[in-house]
Structures are given as structure tokens and as C-alpha cells.
Amino acid sequence: MSYRLNLLASVLLTTCAGLAVAQTPTPAAATPKPAAVPVPGAIAAPMPPPPSLDAKSWVLMDYATGQILASSNPDERVEPASITKIMTSYVVSAELAAGKVKPDDQVFISENAWRGGGAGTDGSTSFLALNSKVKLHDLLMGMIVQSGNDSAIALAEHLAGSEAVFADLMNEYAKRLGLKDTHFVNASGLSAPDHYTTAHDIASLSRALIRDFPEDYKIYAIKEFEWNGIKQHNRNALLWRDASVDGIKTGHHSAAGYCLTASAKRDDERLITVVMGTKGEKVRADMTQELLNYGFRFYETHKLYSADKPVAEPTLWKGQADTIQLGVSEDVLVTLPRGRYGDLKAAMDVPGRFVAPFSKGQSVGTLRISLDGKPLLERPIVALQEYPEGGFMHRLGDGILLWFKSDEAIQPSKQPDTK
């Protein structure tokens, strides 16, 4: 505080002598740099275009950031077929987590479930026995591993009383997850006029499933499941082909074509792919493999800033503390082409001066990251602690000083980069 007292005394003396002229504050643009400097002499690898796929739509997404790395018709509405069951399993996992149902619940197999939704064609089954009772966990296995329509419908009826009401529940969860172009009318994925989604929405849903229910997600990596004396294999061929693949779901019927949503993790990087409307089982697997190989080869993820660590610590006026710690409430990750880390541009839009009070977590500005002039992400800049007002005399003194102080040029502190 002594430097402020000395500064205040100097200001008062020069003011009394008539030598001081009040300055008009000039807004200061704060421009942080990415957290680490790339290795000198590193040369960015050439960036080829993504594969050209013969599919209605497709998406390559980075799991950590949710960034779309490459896509074709990502927001075109398509029929999802059995990929619908990703949402069915998400709802079941959410209800299990909330304690509304239990894994050992005995689920009644109705005639509607037994008939697989009354279809009999263009569908798959777990071969559940009519009027039997099956543990909820076994039905979840049958729906995910065997893609059983009967398992999906039985789960829907157990959780919501009817499949139609369960579809309403699916749509409510879709809204919560921000799926903008998705609507369900059944739990299994059978073709229906108002049953649709997009490759982008399915990628977002898959990301939410992995993030929110990692233990239940492990079921998607299981290669086979036996029920009622019948062993069936998981239709995701990549589980046998690529050890890094641990999900997610296939889909097929005549209107949807052959679809596959997959996720793979190599080292610390995870990618999600969605390929909709291809012409065959092998084609959808080959196309998905192409996308995964492309993504892992040409993209990388970096942590730019860590949650709850100071990014900048500018002067705080009229507060009990002399400075205010600014940061982000969540880790700031970014995915970009390999070798382009040094080309990232960061800008932090914050005020040129900070005047107490501030509450912990209060948003005070925006961190913006861009590459080649294109925005990659934005994150709120927040106060990391509680910063109450100082005493009356301190506020009075700072109030006088602020008349003579220019806005501060705020630069962030560097944090170690982590891939």
C-alpha cells in the first residue's frame, strides 16, 4: 500500500502546484500469447484435405474440445436407424445415475417389445422371451452389443410406461444436450416420418455419453453377448480391426442406409466420427477408419490454460487487495493441425482497469483463440477469488489516483502447454 500512498502524495503536490493535467483513459487491448512457445525451427506439416467419402453426411470431431475438424453435410437431417440407441442408452444411464431405476430391476418383456416394435423386418433382436422378465443390465447389454430392438423397447417401457412417452423423454434430453436438429419417435430406430437427427448432433450426443457415463460407455467396446442361448457379435467391425476403437454404434435400415458412429483413443487424444448413409457394412467401416486415421495423423490437442490458475493479475482499485487474479473456470483446450501451435493468436477482451468489488467466478471478459484469422474458441475470463471493497480512506485515495492513471495494458502469465 505504501507505493499508493507515495503516489497519492505526489499527485496531491503536483496538483496543488498546478502542474498536473488529468488524463482521459484510453482503452487498452490485452493480447495474451498461447501458453507455450513451440520448438524453434519446427516446420508445420502439410495439411491435406480430408478424405472424400461416399456418404450422405459425416463428421470428424475432437472429443476434448468438441471441435468439428472435418465434415460433409453435418447438419443435414437423416434417419439414424439403430444409432438411435445411443440416445436410448444415454437416457437409461441418466435415470440409473439419478436412482430412478436399478441395474437389477426385473423388466417385463411385453408383446410390443417381443415383436421388436411390430416390425419383424429391417430390424435386429436379442431374442427375448415373451412375458419373461430380464434384468435391466442384461437388456442394456442386449441393446448395445446385439443392437436388439426388443431390448430397447423393453427398456423404454420400463422407464416411461410406454415407448411413446419414452420418446418424449429422449427429446427432452436432446434439448438439454443442445441437439438442435434431432427428434425421436421411438427407442429402437425403426424408420418413421418424424424420426431424424444429423451427423453433428450424433457426434455431440456421443461426446456427452462418453463424458457423462464413462462406466456405461465401456459396454460399447464389448465384442459379443449371449442371451437365451444365442451368441451375437457386435456389428462394429472396427472393434476387431483397430485396438484404439472402443465404440460406438452401427445402424442400418433401407431408408437410412449403413451408418456408423465410432470413437477411438490414441495416447491422450480421442476422436469421434459419424458416417451416415453409406452403401454397405464394409464401406461404413472403411470410411470410418479413413476418418480416424486422418484425424490422428494431422491434428493435435493442446492445453493452453489450466482452470483456476491466474492468466493475468492486474491492479485492483478500491479493494482490500492490491491486485485481482483473473483466469478461466475450466481448462482451455484447443485442437489444431499438427505443427501450427505457434500460429495461434490469442486475444483477451477485459477492461483496462478493475474497481472492487468482484465476486468469485464473476465474468469480467472473454478469452478468444484463433488460427489464420478464424475463431477456434471463446471462454469467459473470471475473477478467481472474492475481492471486497477496501475501507473508506483507501477508496477515497484510489478514487483520486484514478483521475491521473491511464488504463493498464494487461498481459497474461504463461502456463506450461500440455498436449
142 C-beta neighbours (distance < 10 Å), count:
28
Q: Which residue has the higher pLDDT, 23 or 80?
A: 80
pLDDT above 70 for 34: no
Q: Which residue has the higher pLDDT, 3 or 153?
A: 153
Q: Which residue has the higher pLDDT, 59 or 44?
A: 59
- Residue 412, pLDDT score: 62
Q: Which of 262, 266, 232, 268 is CA-nearest to residue 247?
A: 262
Range 2-30+306-402 has CATH code 3.40.50.1100: no
- In the residue annotation, 147 being an active-site residue is answered as yes
CA distance 276 to 181: 15
pLDDT above 60 for 16: no
Chain centroid, CA 74 distance in Å: 16
Q: Is the dihedral of CA 259, 163, 128, 133 positive or negative?
A: positive
pLDDT above 50 for 28: no
pLDDT above 70 for 418: no
- Residue 397, pLDDT score: 80
Question: What's the rounded mean pLDDT across residues 189-203?
Answer: 96
Q: Which residue has the higher pLDDT, 390 or 75?
A: 75
Q: What is the pLDDT of residues 142-151, one digit of tens each?
A: 999 999 999 9
- Residue 346, pLDDT score: 83
Cα within 13 Å of Cα(328), Cβ side: 20
- Residue 46, pLDDT score: 73
- Superfamily name and number for 57-299: DD-peptidase/beta-lactamase superfamily (3.40.710.10)
For residue 272, report the phi and psi dihedrals to the nearest 5 degrees.
Answer: -125, 135
Q: Is the dihedral of CA 213, 215, 221, 223 positive or negative?
A: negative
Estimate the crossing angle of helix 163-176 against helix 149-160, to 10 degrees.
80
- Residue 167, pLDDT score: 98
CA distance 205 to 175: 11
Task: Report CA-CA distances (Å) from 109 to 126, 136, 151.
Answer: 12, 11, 8
CA distance 406 to 322: 17
- Residue 406, pLDDT score: 78
Give the DSSP H/E element, type plus range, for residue 310. Answer: none
For residue 345, name the pLDDT band (cuts at 50, 70, 90). Answer: confident
- Residue 407, pLDDT score: 77
pLDDT above 90 for 401: no
User: Percentage of the chain with pLDDT > 70?
Assistant: 85
Q: Which of 227, 184, 194 is CA-nearest to residue 89?
A: 184
Q: 333-353 b/e with 16+ CB inside 10 Å = b?
A: bbbbbebbbeebbbebebbbb
For residue 269, name the pLDDT band (cuts at 50, 70, 90). Answer: very high
In the annotated binding site for substrate, the residues are: 249
Under 8 Å CB-to-CB from 52, ≥6 apart: which residues? none
Q: What is the pLDDT of residues 101-135, one digit of tens each?
A: 999 999 999 999 998 754 444 578 999 999 999 99
Cα within 13 Å of Cα(86), Cβ side: 29
- Of the residues 57, 71, 72, 82, only one is catalytic, namely 82
For residue 308, name the pLDDT band (cuts at 50, 70, 90). Answer: confident
Question: What's the rounded mean pLDDT across residues 321-326?
Answer: 93
pLDDT above 90 for 54: yes
- Of the residues 56, 72, 85, 89, only one is catalytic, namely 85
Coil, strand or helix: which one is 135?
Answer: strand
pLDDT above 60 for 3: no
Q: Can you give the residue ranges of every domain in the chain? A: 2-30+306-402, 57-299
Question: What's the rounded mean pLDDT across residues 383-411?
Answer: 82
- Of the residues 72, 147, 151, 263, only one is catalytic, namely 147
- In the residue annotation, 82 being an active-site residue is answered as yes
Cα within 13 Å of Cα(242), Cβ side: 22
- Residue 156, pLDDT score: 98
Q: Which residue has the higher pLDDT, 31 or 354?
A: 354
